[in-house]
Structure 1
Amino acid sequence: MTKKRIILNAFDMTCVSHQAAGTWRHPESQASRYNDIEYWTNMAIELERGHFDTLFIADVVGVYDVYRNSAGAALKDADQVPVNDPFGAISAMAAVTNHVGFGVTAAVTFEQPYVLARRLSTLDHLTKGRVAWNVVSSYLNSAALNIGMEKQIGHDERYDMAEEYMQVMYKLWEGSWEEGAVHRDKESGVFTDPAKVHPIRHDGKYYKVPGFHLCEPSPQRTPVIFQAGASPKGQAFASRHAEGMFILTTSIEQSKAVTTKIRDQVEAAGRSRDSVKIFTLLTVITAATDEAAERKYQEYLSYASPEGMLALYGGWTGIDFSTYDPNQPLEALENDSLRTTLESLTSGHDGKTWTVKDVIRERCIGGLGPVLVGGPQKVADVLEEWVDEGGIDGFNLAYAVTPGSTSDFINYIVPELVKRGRAQTEYKEGTFREKLIGTETPYTEDTHPAAEQRGAYAGKESVQDKTTESNFAEEKIPQAAQ
């Protein structure tokens, strides 16, 4: 029986402290070089050396200012602030690699679809079809305030907006330009046939986009769709749109329940259960032996920042942990932050509800996900268990120290996974979708909602309908006098 290949994604963000608070101070950490393009190109080269599938780049548009009602703790520890635009380094990383994919996060709440469709198509062109879009709706109230809103849009309404947003994107990517619209014919002087380019005339509740897509069709047309959110609304959204889904689970048992529910919904939406590749967050601390890995973990913990982690968790949950007694059990709240994070802290941890001390002790490294410490055998055993019993397809691997955590995984764990038939030793040819999902073409599967817009405007209103033949079509510009 063929063993299931484990999908490996590096999880990062264009900032200093992503999931681990304080470890940027470690002597071997290069996290503070996040502004340096060589940091990113070197990372991409390293990931391709390890035959990783993806560099998954998270993002927020806002700051973590819930803890103590201030952004002070987040700024002091550089907890996801300062933060750069996640799109900037991707072209450079693509230029020094041939296969690794790039999952880029962009929030539908703060980007107009007409503009974001062009940015993503541009990247898909420049990377030769190696781009995925991580669709998020944003959860930080500070982000909403700074783009002119009075407050963050409600959790469920954000997903209603996202549903319409996706329809606009699919119309632009899949329907606006027909196959064969671009001629590039120097003899005839026709680059694009305007009769095969169509305005989408979208007029909805949230968005109005009358025109056509600014870009010619990119290698994948629609980039691979990632989605990060496992609330009921998030799962329903993912069941329709996601080709890769990022979930937050803290145990194999919880993972099994979540992945089964997601795949049931995917099937109910008319897609195959395997149409969505599901990843969970994990931080791996490894070395040659279990003992050496444990020593490394304890060393990393000595650099951890409790205040920094509480600042991050304040943003993730909407709870100001400074108002809690350190030993007080946390209680669930109904708010518009990350609901699955709230549930993971209040629905029981090893049979007990978490306290603030638990958050500090167990999440200063690891952030939103668990930490796995051990040598190659131990780590590989657990990874296989997550996949075989937890129902996931792979991992978003966060770092404790960058790039050391990633290099350690490549040097110690990947060879062990290869021995077990669990990791790829070479890349499949083709676009990112063909590599990751296994499609036979660069385009979405026929059961994906993007496919509904494929060719939908052929034979309908085109740009040609609004043009007339020029009186100067046959005129020749005379050559300059010699």
Structure 2
Amino acid sequence: MAKEIRLNAFAMNCVAHQSPGLWTHPRDRTAEYNRLPYWIDLARTLERGRFDGLFLADVLGVYDVYGNSPDAALRNAAQTPSNEPLLLLSAMAAVTQNLGFGVTSNLSFEPPYPFARRMSTLDHLTEGRIGWNVVTGYLDSAARGAGKDKQTGHDDRYDIADEYMEVVYKLWEGSWEDAAVLRDRKRGIFTDPGKVHRVNHDGANYRINNTIHLSEPSPQRTPVLYQAGTSPRGRQFAARHAECVFMSGPSAKVIAPRVSAIRQEAAALGRNPAEILMFSMMTIILGRTEAEAKEKYADYRRHISPEGALALMSGWTGVDFSGYDLDQQVRHVQNDAGRSAMDNVTRADPDRIWTVRDVIEHVGIGGAGPVVVGTPEMVADKIEQWFEATDVDGLNVAFAISPGDFEDIADMLVPELTKRGRYKPDYAKGTLREKLFGAGRARLGAPHPAAGYRVGKTG
């Protein structure tokens, strides 16, 4: 039986996100990113299209690698300015009933104790529709903003992240028993103190001394865990902690081995590799006819900002592209920035040679994923082929313009995928985790490490 195709919308609380320059298109509304009506309208559109979730990226720090300056990012709105994503979620949850929210939050610069409470609060307010994309960052500018000279080394960041996860698991799963909250009006007892436990942790990077988690157990306790690292150390982290993995790459030839590597790592840890859902990035541009779709794509390309594209790529790779000739070949550099973006255009596909001009063309619309253009039938065919070739479970759908591209998907592509039996006819009931993994699975179970910290289990 063919896999059900899952869709997340991929966005960020900023202008344009993955398509630098497209904010200048007359149909794009992302310049309104700092107003709630834009986000409320987007949430309603996504729920109408039965999207599994809205996956919100976030980056702490400014893209200042290009030309050793933030000027290019500022001129072109290359993910600058950007606002905090978590504050959007309550408003969007209030106008939807089923849409999930996977939100990126960087653990490198915030203690686990207040962060754990914030996520529990969102899990309560969304009625269990919250997920956390666990990231450690890749910009030195973020580290400088947090009072450090530069970011911690790439693999060392994951070592710290492993300990961070242990702490938040203790808070979410090990402080309050399921039966701790009584809400007993007659006796005037809200919580049974004997069923609330103090958390202690004394590790290499974090210390919690005899304190309780401030939030009562939320519908999911631990939010659905997303992760986006595909380096060897990132894969280890994903195989241990992630329920959903997001990866980007220009072709099935790049994506397929990354999917396989994470599944193999998970199996080695005793997890069911099929239960780690893999999402890859894709941008979809639709038309009622092939000619209409191609004309729309050509129209979009006239709004690309080459400088903005290189500002993004410089930030993702830690390599200053401002001094490169357009026809110069991009060669691999290893540093403490993100690894996937550099691998995508150097060694992930040894049969392809990338120039700087190619990078601009690739990043200009949709960032680091493929762009699929055509009628709903053509695009559905290509998506089915992509699933067959890569073994992914879903797509994180980037946009050229928003909300227009998502409206097209809801109105044109979703009906076609549904007709083929590849897309859910309706939302499943329950929390985000239940919608993704099945009824009765609101909370993490063994062998996931979080389950080992839970106290007072009632089920």
| 1:262 positional shift | 1.0
Alpha-carbon displacement from aligned partner over 1:387-427 (angstroms, at most 9, x marks no partner): 12210001000010010111111112111101111111211
Q: Which has the larger radius of gyration?
A: 1
Structure 1 residue 105 corresponds to structure 2 residue 100? no
Alpha-carbon displacement from aligned partner over 1:296-337 (angstroms, at most 9, x marks no partner): 000001011000111111100111111112111111111111
Percent of aligned positions with the same letter in both sequences?
A: 51
Structure 2 SS opposite 1:346 = coil
CA contact (8 A) 1:175 1:457 kept: no
What residue is the counterpart of 2:62 in the other structure? 63
In structure 2, distance between residues paired with 1:147 and 1:248: 28
What residue is the counterpart of 1:160 in the other structure? 159
CA contact (8 A) 1:243 1:437 kept: no
CA contact (8 A) 2:128 2:432 kept: yes
In structure 1, distance between residues paired with 2:369 and 2:123: 30
CA contact (8 A) 2:313 2:363 kept: no
C-alpha change, 1:450 and 1:348, in structure 2 (3 Å) is: closer
Alpha-carbon displacement from aligned partner over 1:24-55 (angstroms, at most 9, x marks no partner): 00000001000110111111111010000000
Structure 1 SS opposite 2:86 = coil
What residue is the counterpart of 1:122 in the other structure? 121
What residue is the counterpart of 2:451 in the other structure? 451
What residue is the counterpart of 1:246 in the other structure? 246
| 1:350 positional shift | 7.8
Deviates more, 1:426-435 or 1:257-266: 257-266
In structure 1, distance between residues paired with 2:320 and 2:254: 26
In structure 1, distance between residues paired with 2:132 and 2:418: 28
CA contact (8 A) 1:198 1:457 kept: no
What letter corresponds to residue 446 of structure 1 in structure 2? A
C-alpha change, 1:326 and 1:348, in structure 2 (3 Å) is: farther
Structure 1 SS opposite 2:199 = coil
In structure 2, distance between residues paired with 1:141 and 1:311: 15
What residue is the counterpart of 1:473 in the other structure? none
What residue is the counterpart of 2:422 in the other structure? 422
Structure 1 residue 269 corresponds to structure 2 residue 269? yes
What letter corresponds to residue 37 of structure 1 in structure 2? L
What letter corresponds to residue 163 of structure 2 in structure 1? E
What letter corresponds to residue 197 of structure 1 in structure 2? V
What residue is the counterpart of 2:235 in the other structure? 235
CA contact (8 A) 1:363 1:370 kept: no
Q: TM-score, normalised by structure 1?
A: 0.93
Structure 1 residue 410 corresponds to structure 2 residue 403? no
In structure 2, distance between residues paired with 1:151 and 1:348: 27
What letter corresponds to residue 7 of structure 1 in structure 2? R
In structure 1, distance between residues paired with 2:175 and 2:380: 46
What residue is the counterpart of 1:199 in the other structure? 198
CA contact (8 A) 1:176 1:457 kept: no
Structure 1 residue 82 corresponds to structure 2 residue 77? no
What letter corresponds to residue 172 of structure 1 in structure 2? L
Deviates more, 1:250-259 or 1:348-357: 348-357
CA contact (8 A) 1:17 1:77 kept: no
In structure 2, distance between residues paired with 1:159 and 1:457: 30
Deviates more, 1:169-178 or 1:432-441: 432-441
What residue is the counterpart of 2:330 in the other structure? 330
C-alpha change, 1:350 and 1:202, in structure 2 (3 Å) is: closer
Alpha-carbon displacement from aligned partner over 1:113-142 (angstroms, at most 9, x marks no partner): 001100000000000000000000000100
What letter corresponds to residue 165 of structure 1 in structure 2? Y
Deviates more, 1:410-419 or 1:249-258: 249-258
| 1:189 positional shift | 1.5
What residue is the counterpart of 2:31 in the other structure? 32
What residue is the counterpart of 2:137 in the other structure? 138
What letter corresponds to residue 252 of structure 1 in structure 2? A
In structure 1, distance between residues paired with 2:413 and 2:266: 32
| 1:253 positional shift | 2.6
Deviates more, 1:156-165 or 1:419-428: 419-428
| 1:457 positional shift | 11
What letter corresponds to residue 74 of structure 1 in structure 2? A
Structure 2 SS opposite 1:73 = helix
CA contact (8 A) 1:347 1:353 kept: no
| 1:349 positional shift | 5.5
CA contact (8 A) 2:254 2:348 kept: no
CA contact (8 A) 1:433 1:442 kept: yes
What residue is the counterpart of 1:304 in the other structure? 304
What residue is the counterpart of 1:474 in the other structure? none
| 1:377 positional shift | 1.5
Structure 1 residue 374 corresponds to structure 2 residue 342? no
Q: Which runs of 4+ in 1 moved over 6 A?
A: none
Pairwise CA RMSD: 1.4
CA contact (8 A) 1:282 1:396 kept: yes
Unaligned runs of 5+ in 2: none
Structure 2 SS opposite 1:201 = strand
What letter corresponds to residue 325 of structure 1 in structure 2? D
| 1:185 positional shift | 0.9
Deviates more, 1:380-389 or 1:166-175: 380-389
Structure 1 SS opposite 2:113 = helix
Structure 2 SS opposite 1:278 = strand
What letter corresponds to residue 77 of structure 2 in structure 1? A
Alpha-carbon displacement from aligned partner over 1:266-319 (angstroms, at most 9, x marks no partner): 111111112210000111111112221110000001011000111111100111
CA contact (8 A) 1:286 1:409 kept: yes
In structure 2, distance between residues paired with 1:248 and 1:280: 6
What letter corresponds to residue 269 of structure 1 in structure 2? L
Structure 2 SS opposite 1:445 = coil
In structure 1, distance between residues paired with 2:247 and 2:15: 23
In structure 2, distance between residues paired with 1:128 and 1:457: 20
CA contact (8 A) 1:259 1:390 kept: yes
C-alpha change, 1:28 and 1:86, in structure 2 (3 Å) is: same
| 1:439 positional shift | 5.2
Structure 2 SS opposite 1:191 = strand
In structure 2, distance between residues paired with 1:320 and 1:422: 42
Unaligned runs of 5+ in 1: 459-482
What residue is the counterpart of 1:16 in the other structure? 15
